[in-house]
Structure 1
Amino acid sequence: MTQPLLYLEDELTHLTLAPHLGASLVEWTLRSTGAPLLRPPAPHALENGLPGKLGCFPLIPWSNRIAQGGFDCPSGWLALEANSPNDPFPIHGSAWQQPWQVTEQNDQEALLQLDSRTPFAYCASLRIRLSGGQLQMALHVTHMAEQAAWHGLGLHPYFPRTSGTRLQTGASEVWMCDASKLPTKLRGVPSEWDFQQSRLLPDTLVDNGFGGWDGQCLIQQPDLGYELECRASGSEFFLLYCPVGLDFFCIEPVSHPVNAHHLPGRPGLRLLEQGQSVALGFSMQCRTL
């Protein structure tokens, strides 16, 4: 049976949501030209239930990869299994692989909710609002299990990439990675990944976490006729993924670096007791050029 999609619209943009596919954003486009503000969905991604081939999805209760098959909580070891055929590690949490419920909806706003029991009990909400060409997303998660557990949040937007796509954002440090895509050491940002000034995306692979972020970035799309001014809250880190030869890239606002559960001090993670909450917000303001 085909699951219903949600459609939001303001005076400038149109947004399609798939609540049943992990609260995924299917696509976000300019009404005037149809230009994609998020990467267009891959063919058959909806029919095959593939959030990673759509425009964006939430990362709860952690972002990216976790090594060693799980992590320690105060009550003991929490074992995790790999949950993606494309990765040997548990990745992106559990919310993206569960259906969410629509609890509020009008022409410009929707509130989605998930009551999860995996890998522990939590309640998540995602409020999405369009206004004046701005897409606002607010994630809120409350820990419901009796035993405390570590939480992290993030969003995984995919943006279109052309030969003219430019990025401007600031970071003070970056995690270098090994062949398994796990962080090995923290260092200053190399010149080729320094986006303090607007520049074209690198021609070589980037798949790294950056820290010391003020939550702001500017994505310029001259070939598509617009730019996006983005602001994140509850996020001192971002992940930048620039695959070689593909027509998209990702800059993901996250509350913690990759594999933070096994890094010294568990940077960015929050140990939540029952009833305690954590939140993350992200807005993208579209301006036509």
Structure 2
Amino acid sequence: MSNEDITLTAGTAEVRVSPAGGGRISGLKVDSLELLRQGQRFGCFPMVPWCGRIREGRFLDGGTERQMPLNSPPHAIHGTARDGAWRIARRAENEAVITYDLVDPWPHAGRITHVVTLTEDSLTLTMSVEAKDDSFPAQIGWHPWFNRSLGGADVTLDFKPAWQEERGDDHLPTGRRIDPRPGPWDDCFGMPDGVDVTLTWPGQLELKVTSREEWVVVYDEQAEAVCVEPQTGPPNGLNTLPRLVTPLEPLEATTTWSWRRI
């Protein structure tokens, strides 16, 4: 295990990966512009083996009810891997592979692998969950904190979801799909043709977040940052839309961020 950060470079782009800091992407610079909010809780952290909130921290695992720690009372939020130290499996000038073995409080043995690949104009993140001995439900997602302001320009968001998950008073989807509403948001949206969200800092940079997954959470209620979070299912999805990981069938997802100066 290593405590050192990994710096990847490609052209004028630079990415910093922090295995010991929960496997997060702790920095992304384009032409010296830092796109990600800095700080121990920020950057872009992996949401695995679940995304967003689990209602009261409980989910059904086959016929067994599991209880996760309530780290966002009254719910459990954003998985366990962001709190652990990851290992460096491989590194090169523009690519790093890091891994994390699931441990308590997660009840099943498994391994998370995260591949971080940088080019001059894109960052591709691919994460997989492998089950070791037995099957379990899981989700994969990413939680980037993009700086709201770059070079004095505030970001605008453009995306065309097919629906919005109605959010209850407990911040969890009610199960109803509604027409998308104007922000500010802490909401999950459906994009059945794949996640496709454009962030534009006028006069500075345009960045597209894409994924073949059809779920994205957008959170823009903070003054300093906006979050665009591709994921394999909605919040509370271990209960409402479980994706089973088996020893023969891992769960894998990819997101690509591509950018251009404007």
TM over 0.5: yes
For structure 1, the residue ranges without an aligned partner over 5 or more in a row are 46-52, 193-201
Query: What do the CA deviations read for 1:137-190 (whole angstroms, capped 9, x no partner)?
Result: 1101111232x2111111111111136311122211112222321122423323
**After the TM superposition, which parts of structure 1 deviate over 6 Å for at least 4 consecutive aligned residues?**
none
Find the counterpart in structure 1 of residue 244 from structure 2.
Answer: 271
Pick from 214, 219, 234 the counterpart of residue 199 of structure 2: 219
CA–CA separation in structure 1 for the residues paired with 2:94 and 2:142 = 20
Alignment of 1:254-269 (within 5 A): 254-263=231-240, 266=241, 269=242
Identify which range, 178-187 or 20-29, moves more after superposition.
Answer: 178-187
Q: Give 1:188's aligned residue.
A: 178
| 2:119 matches 1:131 | yes
Partner of 1:5: 5
Paired with 1:70 and 1:111, the residues of 2 have a C-alpha distance of 31
Rounded to whole Å, the distance in 2 between the matches of 1:139 and 1:258 is 18
Matches within 5 A, 1:1-289: 3-30=3-30, 32=31, 34-39=32-37, 41-42=38-39, 45=40, 53-82=41-70, 84=71, 86-118=72-104, 119=106, 120-146=108-134, 148-162=135-149, 164-192=154-182, 202=183, 205-213=184-192, 214-222=194-202, 225-233=204-212, 235-244=213-222, 246-263=223-240, 266=241, 269-289=242-262
What's the offset of the Cα at 1:26?
0.8
Identity of aligned residues (%): 22
Q: Secondary structure at the match of 2:53?
A: coil
| C-alpha distance 185-77 of structure 1, shift in aligned 2 (>3 A) | closer
**Using a 3 Å threshold, how does the CA distance of structure 1 residues 241 and 160 change in structure 2: closer, same or farther?**
same
Distance in 1 (CA, whole Å) between partners of 2:147 and 2:79 is 24
CA RMSD of aligned residues (A): 1.9
TM-score by length of structure 2 reads: 0.90
> What is the identity, as a one-letter code, of the residue corresponding to 1:179?
D
2-structure distance, mates of 1:3, 1:219 = 32
How many residue pairs get aligned? The number is 255
Q: Which runs of 5+ in 2 are unaligned?
A: none
What secondary structure does 2:259 align onto? strand
More strand by share: 2
